[in-house]
Chain A
Amino acid sequence: MYFMIDNEQKILSDLKKGKSYAAAKLYDAYERYWFRICLRYARNRSEAQDLMQVGVSKVFHAIHTFNAEKASFKTWSTTVIIRESIHFLKKHLWQQTFTDIETIENMVIEPTIFEQLRTKEIIQVIQKLPSGYRMIFNLYEMEGYSHKEIADLLDITVGTSKSQLYKAKRMLQNQIEALLNN
């Protein structure tokens, strides 16, 4: 949690008052954390930078709606960035979002093998998932959303969310296996 900063409450208060130094301090503190979220939702680094731009801009513009009594700034900013990212991706990529991929092979590999992977490689594997799989995998497994919440957010059924998650996990297995074999 090294990205937490001293006097965060004061900085947030100053940001609400429109002091620009506060935005810079928050950005520097949370840059890596926010960007990693964007990397997980994007297809590549370039797209992650687009998500970062729309998401973080939204965080700063909507800062007056942040209520420290309801959630921490980290949690709140994560939610804002994820929602902005989903909106961005839906707008630009939704045609490919929920395409069924029927060629997934049912493979089972030892989880210990994953220990050999680096963080960058894990993110790259996630980025290779189709948009729909990637979003549902991230929302369910990484952010802890329920299938009902995902269904409401993405305007899909709960059943679609469940099946897409299952397929996403199988596809992840395949891709990691392929990566390790190479």
Chain B
Amino acid sequence: MEDKNKISDFIRKRLENFDHEIEAWESPDKNLRDTILGQVKPESKSNLLSIKPLHIAAILLIPIIGFTSFYFIKKHNESQAEIKSIYAELQAKKTEIKVLKEKVISLKNKNNSIEQTIISNEFTTHNPSNNDPLDQSIVSKNSKKNSSFEEGLRVSKITNYSKLQQDNSKSKTEKTFNNYASNNPKEITGTTAKKAKLDEINNRPKLDSEKLAINRLMVSIEDAKNIQESNNLKLLPQQKFDVHRRKNNLLVGIGIQGKSRPFKTEHKFNKQQPMEGQPPARTKLFFNKFMEVEYMISNRIGLYTGFGSVNAKMSKKSKFDYAFDKNNTVTNSNGKQYNEIEFRSSSNLGDNEGLVSFEVPEGIQNSDKINVTLSNSFTIKSINIPLGLNYYFYMNNKWLGYIGGGLNYESLYISKYNVKADLAYNSKEVTSKHLLKQPSDKNIQHVNYNIGVGAAYSINNMWSIQGDIQWNKNLYNNGKKHPPKHFDVDAKVGIYYRI
């Protein structure tokens, strides 16, 4: 083995060495040069130009999408800043309300305490008169209280009473008392009664002023509540569940898209003879992932664009009968007989030529039928960029329906196109060798216009699931035309986030 490797090395070195004078044997004939160079034709500029506008359109879409996204994101940030400032204002109002509420509670407690003091004083020091409306009121209030509560009040009375004695505003109180005493001389009979009445009078103006203060605070609280409610409506529109879409909303979604594409093949034996029983166009389904952005230009109308990509394999089998042609038979050095079938496979997604060489089955006669199964297969890669409008209509709290339409640019790259042939004669497999001419990879570009219907389901205020089905028709196609009565159908479902 080592020797043989050395032989290989030696041969390789010798054949890679060109450092010697040119000998006649190592150059081809001169006319071969002319033949080859004669076949080189300048590249058709028109072919290049036919593709360029679409490339330019596709490239232009990218900055358009970019600028649109930038504009709306900027707008979104501005509205977010506004919301933040309103929030801050609201927080300040809430704090203010809290302070005011505490004040109200404190004042109410104080008020209660004062009332209770008055009542207890009346109980302990004053014999109520049937003619005095104030006394009647006190009696009425106290009649509702139980005995234990009365005991508590009696204890607190002593403390309050000592405080009352220290009150400095005697002049005003005494004036009021004198007026009262002159009008009701029978009521003021003892010292205790006099003091109690003085205290009661002394407390009256204070109680009224505090009640006024409480009233003013209550008005402030109502104002604050109104501010809070109006701000709530501006801040959280999504809390109103029936509002799924709003003007200036931006929806960003990702999902899966199913595409059905017609695949029509036509085969010819020996390049000229069309085969009988050509298979009909069939619809092939493949899936891609997509990203979509939709901007609501009004509450009901959204402008959408996005990007989708596909990487899938497609295949199709077709069966034919080939009439055996004895004239194509050749005999090789081993004495075996071979026959050839040359065929051309043509489809809307690419062409292919091939040659099947097979061992001549025993006993076969000229024009006998050989069953041929041709399997077309290839890899398809594509990108697509949609641009269109959706019109939304309300269905219920959770559902929106929509109809839409627009354009869809699609670039298909067909590669690894292969046609495999399997032969059988009298139900027995025929040994064959399939020789395929290397097909060139193909790039097909479509611009479709489409219409569609769909529905959106709100998961919560921000997230929704949206799905639709679209029918596409070719507006432009640089490949072969679609088979008649066939059009592209796309169905997609995705999850969307509303900004």
Chain A nearest CB, measured from B446 CB (Å): 22
Query: How many angstroms from the CA of A20 to the CA of B39 in the assembled complex?
Result: 10
B13-24 vs A, Cβ < 8 Å mask (1 yes, 0 no) = 011011110110
Q: B425-455: which have CB < 8 Å to A? A: 433-435, 437-438, 440
Q: Find chain B residues with CB under 8 A from A60 CB.
A: 36, 39-40
Q: Find chain B residues with CB under 8 A from A142 CB.
A: 11-12, 15
Contact A87 B28 (CB under 8 A): no
Q: Find chain A residues with CB under 8 A from B19 CB.
A: 2
Q: A1-45: which have CB < 8 Å to B? A: 2-3, 16-20, 23-24, 27, 31-33, 35-36, 38-40, 45
Contact A36 B26 (CB under 8 A): yes
B372-403 vs A, Cβ < 8 Å mask (1 yes, 0 no) = 00000000000000000000000000000000
Whether B33 is near chain A, meaning CB under 8 Å from some CB there, is: yes
With contacts A120-B23, A120-B26, A170-B4 known, is A83 near B334, CB below 8 A?
no
Query: How many angstroms from the CA of A117 to the CA of B265 in the assembled complex?
Result: 55
Contact B33 A31 (CB under 8 A): yes
Contact B26 A23 (CB under 8 A): no
Question: Of residues A19, A53, A56, A87, which shows the largest number of chain B Cβ atoms within 10 Å of its Cβ?
Answer: A56
Query: How many angstroms from the CA of A126 to the CA of B12 in the assembled complex?
Result: 12
Contact B43 A16 (CB under 8 A): yes
Query: Which residue of A40, A95, A108 contacts B3 across the interface (Cβ within 8 Å)?
Result: A108
Query: Which residue of B32, B40, B357 contacts A23 across the interface (Cβ within 8 Å)?
Result: B40
Q: Find chain B residues with CB under 8 A from A27 CB.
A: 33, 36-37
Whether A128 is near chain B, meaning CB under 8 Å from some CB there, is: no
Query: Which residue of B8, B35, B41, B438 contacts A141 across the interface (Cβ within 8 Å)?
Result: B8
Query: How many angstroms from the CA of A62 to the CA of B45 in the assembled complex?
Result: 16
Query: How many angstroms from the CA of A153 to the CA of B19 in the assembled complex?
Result: 32
With contacts A3-B18, A18-B42 known, is A114 near B7, CB below 8 A?
yes
Q: Find chain B residues with CB under 8 A from A52 CB.
A: 28, 32, 36
Query: How many angstroms from the CA of A31 to the CA of B435 in the assembled complex?
Result: 28
Contact A122 B15 (CB under 8 A): yes
Interface secondary structure of B, over-half rule: mixed
Contact A141 B25 (CB under 8 A): no
Q: Find chain A residues with CB under 8 A from B433 CB.
A: 94, 155
Contact B8 A169 (CB under 8 A): yes
Chain A nearest CB, measured from B159 CB (Å): 99
Residue of B nearest to A99 (CB): B334
Q: Find chain A residues with CB under 8 A from B45 CB.
A: 18
Contact A114 B40 (CB under 8 A): no
Whether A136 is near chain B, meaning CB under 8 Å from some CB there, is: no
Q: Find chain B residues with CB under 8 A from A150 CB.
A: none
Q: Find chain B residues with CB under 8 A from A48 CB.
A: 28
Question: Of residues B42, B45, B330, B338, which shows the largest number of chain A Cβ atoms within 10 Å of its Cβ?
Answer: B42
Q: Find chain B residues with CB under 8 A from A72 CB.
A: none
Q: Find chain B residues with CB under 8 A from A120 CB.
A: 23, 25-26
Q: B443-477: which have CB < 8 Å to A? A: none
With contacts A27-B36, A99-B334 known, is A173 near B438, CB below 8 A?
no
Q: Find chain B residues with CB under 8 A from A33 CB.
A: 18
Query: How many angstroms from the CA of A99 to the CA of B36 in the assembled complex?
Result: 33
Query: What are 10 of the A-B contact pairs (CB < 8 Å)?
Result: A35-B27, A40-B15, A61-B40, A90-B435, A94-B357, A95-B338, A99-B334, A122-B11, A122-B15, A173-B7
B interface residues (Cβ-Cβ under 8 A, vs A): 3-4, 6-8, 10-12, 14-15, 17-20, 22-23, 25-29, 32-33, 35-37, 39-45, 330, 332-334, 336, 338, 355, 357, 433-435, 437-438, 440
